[in-house]
Amino acid sequence: MAQPAAPTPQHPLNDRRFVLIGIPVLALLVLIPRGLLHARSWQEVVVAWLISLVFTTCFWLSGRALWLGLFRRMPRVEQTARRLWWLAGTNTLTAMLVTLGLGNVAAWAQGGHLDAATFWVEFGLNMVPTVVVQLIYESRHFFQQWTENVRRAEQLQSAGVQSQLEALQSQLDPHFLFNSLNTLSALIEPENEPAQQFVEQLSDVYRYVLLARDRTTVPLSEELAFVDTYLALHKVRFRDNLRVTQHIPPAALGQSVAPLSVQLLVENALKHNVASREHPLELRLTADLTAGCFLVENTLRPRTAGLAPGTGTGLRNVQHRYELLRAPRPVKVSATDGWFRVCLPLLAAR
């Protein structure tokens, strides 16, 4: 399967309607405290509005550029408070400087000087469009994030249900299964320890599947313990035809992965590749904290008979689940030098 392209970040702004409607309306509103309702003619209103339109446009576009620049530098939810403090401080300083500069120019043109009382009144009025613009963009961004999180949660739940159905498609009833396994264990002769162990491992596999189906992520240590049990069952059948090596740094065990994702890759390797005495199937499980990924590798010798070729549905489902979990990087798939490799991004512990 070809490696999926990394998702392209969406531009946080699509605000043409806000700009085209918001600037003229806001330019008119800020004239009300400046005496718009007491204008002597409509020509005076138009001139005042046009002047206000120029200043409002400058404040709007500069505030927009400032918000966008800060958003690109601090886009994460936990950076919201810091971003807002930067917006407040920078906007206040900008409004003060603009008010001071324009006020002095206007006072000089009229043959006077800008007094403190006039400065503070004009500064307060100039803060209105600045604050309104920032509230519009920050509130709109907050609402977009909320709707996106709701949509992502619904998709993640749907993907989890699909994964459960695939993992449990042969299971009719959990209680029936475990009762049957207990009965089978009781029927096995006590001295037949391999058979007893096999039944216990089989119970552990299905128990993990049932426990993990309601979780979006699981610690890597739990997933690997499950995979070890799963591989132990297959080693009974494959024996030395299956060779497994693991290199897992202890620090990686606290990271998280999507439940059953490592198991699915191991299952695919066993299902679609030759495992014989002449060509044993080699399986390598490695965690790389520097790259932030868990690597599953297997020798690539596709079966030429027996099972139908894989459709890639399970692997696509894993890729989609990691996208919904907002993994720091996409699932990478490659097939080179006789090896099939899948790199699952390690997720922060939850």
pLDDT of the chain, 350 residues: tens digit per residue: 333 333 333 444 567 776 777 777 777 777 776 666 556 677 767 777 777 777 777 777 777 777 778 778 877 767 777 877 887 788 788 778 877 777 777 667 666 777 777 778 777 777 777 777 777 777 777 777 777 777 777 776 666 655 555 554 444 455 556 666 666 766 676 777 777 777 777 777 777 777 776 788 889 999 999 899 888 888 878 888 999 999 999 999 999 999 889 988 998 898 888 888 888 999 999 999 999 999 999 999 888 765 555 566 778 888 888 888 888 889 999 999 899 999 999 998 76
Could you tell me if 154 and 267 lie in one domain?
no
Residue 279: inside a domain, yes or no?
yes
**Per-residue pLDDT at 39:** 61
Beta bridge partners of 31: none
Q: What stretch of H or E contains 292?
A: none
Mean of pLDDT over the chain: 77
Nearest to 70 by CA among 52, 90, 50: 90
The total number of structural domains in the chain stands at 2
- For residue 338, give the CATH number of its domain: 3.30.565.10
Q: Would the CA dihedral through 144, 150, 151, 153 be positive or negative?
A: positive
Could you tell me if 20 and 156 lie in one domain?
yes
**Per-residue pLDDT at 67:** 78
**Per-residue pLDDT at 255:** 93
Separation between Cα atoms, residue 8 and residue 67, nearest integer Å: 21
**Per-residue pLDDT at 1:** 37
**Residue-wise over 264-300: b if at least 16 C-beta within 10 A, else e?**
bbbbbbbebbbbeeeebbbbbbbbeeeebbbbbbbbb
Could you tell me if 252 and 116 lie in one domain?
no
* Burial class, 49, CB count within 10 angstroms (exposed 0-12 / middle 13-18 / buried 19+): middle
Could you tell me if 64 and 158 lie in one domain?
yes
Q: What stretch of H or E contains 198?
A: helix 193-212
Residue 89: inside a domain, yes or no?
yes
The pTM score is: 0.50
Could you tell me if 82 and 147 lie in one domain?
yes
Could you tell me if 263 and 143 lie in one domain?
no
Residue 188: inside a domain, yes or no?
no
- Provide the token pair at 100: 């001071």
Could you tell me if 155 and 92 lie in one domain?
yes
Who contacts 202 (Cβ-Cβ below 8 Å, separation ≥6)? 181, 233
Could you tell me if 227 and 136 lie in one domain?
no
Helix, strand, coil content of the chain in percent (nearest 5): 65, 10, 25
Domain end among 168, 202, 227? 168
**Per-residue pLDDT at 43:** 74
Range of the domain at 161: 15-168
Domain end among 112, 141, 168? 168
Residue 91: inside a domain, yes or no?
yes
Separation between Cα atoms, residue 30 and residue 227, nearest integer Å: 66
**Per-residue pLDDT at 171:** 42
Residue 239: inside a domain, yes or no?
yes
**Per-residue pLDDT at 158:** 64
Q: Are 248 and 287 contacting, i.e. CB atoms less than 8 angstroms apart?
A: yes
Domain end among 105, 139, 168? 168
**Per-residue pLDDT at 166:** 54
Nearest to 223 by CA among 250, 267, 253, 245: 253
Could you tell me if 238 and 101 lie in one domain?
no
Nearest to 26 by CA among 128, 122, 124: 128
Residue 130: inside a domain, yes or no?
yes
Could you tell me if 20 and 164 lie in one domain?
yes
Separation between Cα atoms, residue 78 and residue 192, nearest integer Å: 57
